[in-house]
């Protein structure tokens, strides 16, 4: 076969819905929500600019400069799965958005330093936001 390229685009309407549903309203607590681009990578370590993997071909200054360029371009999340899901859904005509729980500020390091309780809370926030979005779509 030949290589197939597909755009990995998220539905702007779903993104706007996420922002609205994250806001506090009608007795619902605000859910922290940052809208930005998700950058796809082929691996977890070097491909995402991490310096803590088995191989690393760049120094801290180069890593920082690359992360800054990504951030300046609108990237707020780097991961491996969501862009593939977006490409698949787009090809199938399915609206798609990604809700990610970002647990590492890459400008502060590569290791997870938040507690298990904080990770559980942040993951629950993403789940609550997804449920709010589904309810809003169902009501429309």
Return the CATH number at 98.
3.40.50.1580
Domain extent for 80: 12-139
Q: Which helix (H) or strand (E) element contains residue 75?
A: strand 75-79
Domain assignment present for 65: yes
Domain assignment present for 134: yes
Encode pLDDT of 37-71 as tens digits: 999 999 999 899 898 888 888 899 999 999 999 99
Distance between CA 36 and CA 8 in Å, rounded? 14
Domain assignment present for 2: no
Give me the pLDDT at residue 28, please: 85
Domain assignment present for 5: no
Domain assignment present for 24: yes
pTM: 0.85
Do 77 and 36 contact (CB within 8 A), yes or no? yes
Q: Cβ neighbours of residue 104 under 8 Å, at least 6 residues apart?
A: 110, 111, 112, 113
Tens digit of pLDDT per residue, the chain (140 long)?
A: 999 999 999 999 999 999 999 998 778 889 999 999 999 999 999 899 898 888 888 899 999 999 999 999 999 999 999 999 999 999 999 999 999 998 999 999 999 999 999 999 999 999 999 999 999 999 98
Per the structure, the count of domains in the chain is 1
Domain assignment present for 4: no
Domain assignment present for 7: no
């Amino acid at each position: 076969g030949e290589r197939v390229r597909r755009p990995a685009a998220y539905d702007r309407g779903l993104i706007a819905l996420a922002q609205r549903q994250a806001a506090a309203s009608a007795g619902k607590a605000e859910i922290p929500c940052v809208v930005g681009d998700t950058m796809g990578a082929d691996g977890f370590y070097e491909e995402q600019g991490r310096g803590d993997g088995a191989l690393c071909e760049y120094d801290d200054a180069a890593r920082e400069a690359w992360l800054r360029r990504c951030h300046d371009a609108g990237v707020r999340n780097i991961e491996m799965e969501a862009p593939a899901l977006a490409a698949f859904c787009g090809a199938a005509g399915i609206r798609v958005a990604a809700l990610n729980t970002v647990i590492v500020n890459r400008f502060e390091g590569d290791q997870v330093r938040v507690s298990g309780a904080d990770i559980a809370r942040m993951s629950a926030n993403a789940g609550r936001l997804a449920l709010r979005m589904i309810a809003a779509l169902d009501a429309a």
